[in-house]
Structure 1
Amino acid sequence: MKFAISLAALAAALVLAPAPALAAEGHDAHHAAAPAAAADAYSEGTVKKVDKAAGKLTISHGPLAKLDMPPMTMVFRAADAAMLDKVKAGDKIRFVADRVDGVFTVTALEVAQ
């Protein structure tokens, strides 16, 4: 009997307990954090070369935290050939790089303001 009373008390406490703080933040708080996380994925760099025939960009970049890379100059494949039309050698850019099928690839790119 003692066990049944304790179990009932626990169940009542769980039902009557306030919702977790995360739930209290609401749906909008989740969306506010999403763009910030996406912005953190961008790195800065300078286009050194555009090779449209090969579908590649040579970029001198700062640290790439997502790939655990220090600053360097390297060649990336462009995920979309249209990216290559947006930039030219000397352009300052913001970009997202990732490993796609084992190849370092620029998956998003914008000319820096």
Structure 2
Amino acid sequence: MKFLCKQSLLALAVVLSANGFAAEPAVMGGAGGHSGHGGHDHAAMSTPMSSTWTDGQVKKVDKAGGKVTLAHGPLENLGMPAMTMIFRVQDKAWLGQMKEGDKIRFVADNVNNVLTIVRFEAAR
């Protein structure tokens, strides 16, 4: 009985630690970056796409690079605070609809370890 109890506790500990590990966001470096944090990109591990809209302001549009720099509010689905950073865009045609100073609403997600705008619209 003692042996069975120890095995059960060990199995429970393994399951709980695995669940805790999976819930932790990862910080990964990559191309691009954002201001204020030593030039590192912060990206959560692949998460299910959420329809959490965030307000942002366009700071720079890089059509050739397929990127946009945004000052944005918290990205709740990615566990990130408000900051200014660079994002890829899912559809490069969107960059033709953005210009410096524009206020937008967007949804960002981690796509292949790259923070990417997957939906956007002009702010109302």
Question: What TM-score, normalized to structure 1?
Answer: 0.64
Question: Match of 1:97?
Answer: 108
Residue 73 of structure 1 aligns with an amino acid whose one-letter code is T
The structure carrying a bigger helix percent of its residues is 1
For residue 117 of structure 2, the aligned residue among 88, 93, 106 is 106
> How big is the alpha-carbon RMSD for the aligned residues of Structure 1 and Structure 2?
1.1
Structure 2: state its 5+ residue gaps.
1-49
Q: Which whole-Å CA distance do the structure 2 matches of 1:52 and 1:102 have between them?
A: 21
Instruction: Count how many residue pairs are aligned between Structure 1 and Structure 2.
Output: 75
CA offset digits 1:21-71 (Å, max 9, x no partner): xxxxxxxxxxxxxxxx84xx1100100000000000000000000000000
Residue 52 of structure 1 aligns with an amino acid whose one-letter code is K
Whether 1:60 aligns to 2:79 is no
Whether 1:74 aligns to 2:85 is yes
Question: Structure 1 segments of 4 or more deviating over 2 A?
Answer: none
Q: Which whole-Å CA distance do the structure 2 matches of 1:42 and 1:51 have between them?
A: 22
Q: Which whole-Å CA distance do the structure 2 matches of 1:86 and 1:111 have between them?
A: 9
What secondary structure, in the 3-state scheme, does the structure 2 residue paired with 1:50 have?
strand
Question: What TM-score, normalized to structure 2?
Answer: 0.59
Taking the TM superposition and a 5 Å limit, the aligned residue runs for 1:15-26 are none
Structure 1 residue 81: Cα displacement: 0.6
Residue 87 of structure 1 aligns with an amino acid whose one-letter code is M
What secondary structure, in the 3-state scheme, does the structure 2 residue paired with 1:66 have?
helix
Residue 63 of structure 1 aligns with an amino acid whose one-letter code is P
Structure 1 residue 86: Cα displacement: 1.0
Give 1 or 2 for the bigger CA radius of gyration: 1
Question: Match of 1:86?
Answer: 97
